[in-house]
Amino acid sequence: MMHRTQSHCRKYLKRKKGLTSSVKGVSHLSRRAKRRLYCKLQLWMWRKRREKCSFWILRAKKRACGIKSSSCLSVKSQKNKSKVVSSPGCDTGGSEDTLTRLKQCESVSLSEMFFASKPPQNWVTDTTVSASNVSVPTATSRKTLTQLGEINDSLRHTVKPLSRDSDGHGLTTQFKKPRTLAERLEVDAPSGQLTAVPPGQDQPAHRAAVDRITSKKSASSQSDVSLKVLTKDIHEFLDDFYRSYGSFIPLQKSDVLRHLKRRFNADFIDRKNVIFPEVTKYRDAIIQKPVPSFRVVYKKHTLTLDDLSTLADQNWLNDQVMNMYGELIMESAHHKVHFLNSFFHRQLMTKGYDGVKRWTKQVDLFSKNLLLVPIHLEVHWCLVTADSVKKRICIYDSQGNALQKVARNILKYLMTEAKEKKQTAFESGWTVSFDEKVPQQTNENDCGVFVLEYSRCLALGKPLQFSQKDIPKIRKRIYKELCECKVHEQG
């Protein structure tokens, strides 16, 4: 082989001799010597590659046949170079059984052995090669010829490409361990986007992995939000809130947390001790500033900040708040419900039917499904309803008073109205009832709020499922609805 290589080099040099121009100061002899040295270097590199390839083939055959060779290799290191050599006198299993297995390994097809015998530069097997020693795993049992195919198949599925060691000297390899469902979810879905669980997978494990990923994502998002950024966003939110509602009366803690969650896509419940003190501090600073004129105008209704302030704490509601909210209720019910003005009953009692005759000139009360009449009795609010379909008048009182006199006044008015509008079907057949199972108040200040909530639930067809403890939240919600000029169906 050496002779053929040298002969080839000589022929190559003779062909190129005429084409190679002489260089000043360098003889042809020196250039020829350099080329010869280059050919020798190429030959030496070719031999090293062949030795390396033979080493991989031999090791793969030994591993496939189960030959113990852990003590056959050692490593000699010099600075940044490492060289693998065979230890003299090492025991490679020289028994007849070993030779038989080696011959059996030779019968394995080249296509099956190629994967294990010729790994790429960054591919690794189950051996760890370092600067000090080389360890090769030993087989615990003998393999027959029929099992060689299974061994090669397992190698294909367990060996994976990895990068070199940090020191760049050797290759490290390990068999790939099957990942659990939770591990696959954490690795394959770092952004929290999880796919459906395949059939047969463990559902509890999937849920646990989802929760763990969600919690990690939330914790990471919270840590990314610095205190300075969080404080700035809280201040901007409070400024916008104050401009929209004129005060902080309807502000709830959940509003701040909901805004931050929507803004940063993270849950800040664990940072309440930082958020709420900052909200209180900045809110008090804004309140001390001069308050600009704030008004809410809707159709013929106008609310000032003083009117809206009646919804704060346990204040009594005034007529402006009652009447505008009644207008919003009619809009939300698509005008299938009519809400009479809070001054209607007082005018009816003082001037009779003639005093309120013009109030319904543009409205056909008997075409509505429900008639809502707020009643103000000096220091108390209650509600009287008239169902045109069932021809029934009902009293809703948050203090449990059966105001039969008030109900009869409304009945008399409806019968007169039907006669005046020539609605003979409604001139008789009305019944009066009192609903005793409605939510009741436990103080002397929230009767007006109860009347508005009665009216809202009845107009929207919702059950009366609220109590005294819900009134603070209901006050805040009504305040927002008045400023937004829209009744929230949910809430």
Residue 259 appears among annotated catalytic residues: no
The 3 state secondary structure assigned to the chain is CHHHHHHHHHHHHHHHHCCCCCECCECHHHHHHHHHHHHHHHHHHHHHHHHHHHHHHHHHHHHHHCCCCCCCEEEEEECCEEEEEECCCCCCCCCHHHHHHHHHHHCCCHHHHHHHHCCCCCECCCCEECCCCEECCCCCCCCCHHHHHHHHHHHHHHCCECCCCCCCCCCCCCCCCCCCHHHHHHHHCCCCCCCCCCCCCCHHHHHHHHHHHHHHHHHHHHHHCCHHHHHHHHHHHHHHHHHHHCCCCCCCHHHHHHHHHHHHCCCCHHHHHHHHHHHHHHHHHHHCCCCCCCEEEECCEEEEHHHHHHHCCCCCCCHHHHHHHHHHHHHHCCCCEEECCCCHHHHHHHHHHHHHHHHHCCCCHHHCCEEEEEEEECCEEEEEEEECCCCEEEEECCCCCCCHHHHHHHHHHHHHHHHHCCCHHHCCCCEEEECCCCCCCCCCCCHHHHHHHHHHHHHHCCCCCCCHHHHHHHHHHHHHHHHHCCCCCCC
Q: Which of 65, 382, 394, 447 is catalytic?
A: 447
| Catalytic entry in 39, 165, 380, 435 | 380
Reply yes or no on whether 397 is catalytic: yes
One of 259, 397, 446, 483 is an active-site residue; which one? 397
- Catalytic residue numbers, as ranges: 380, 397, 447
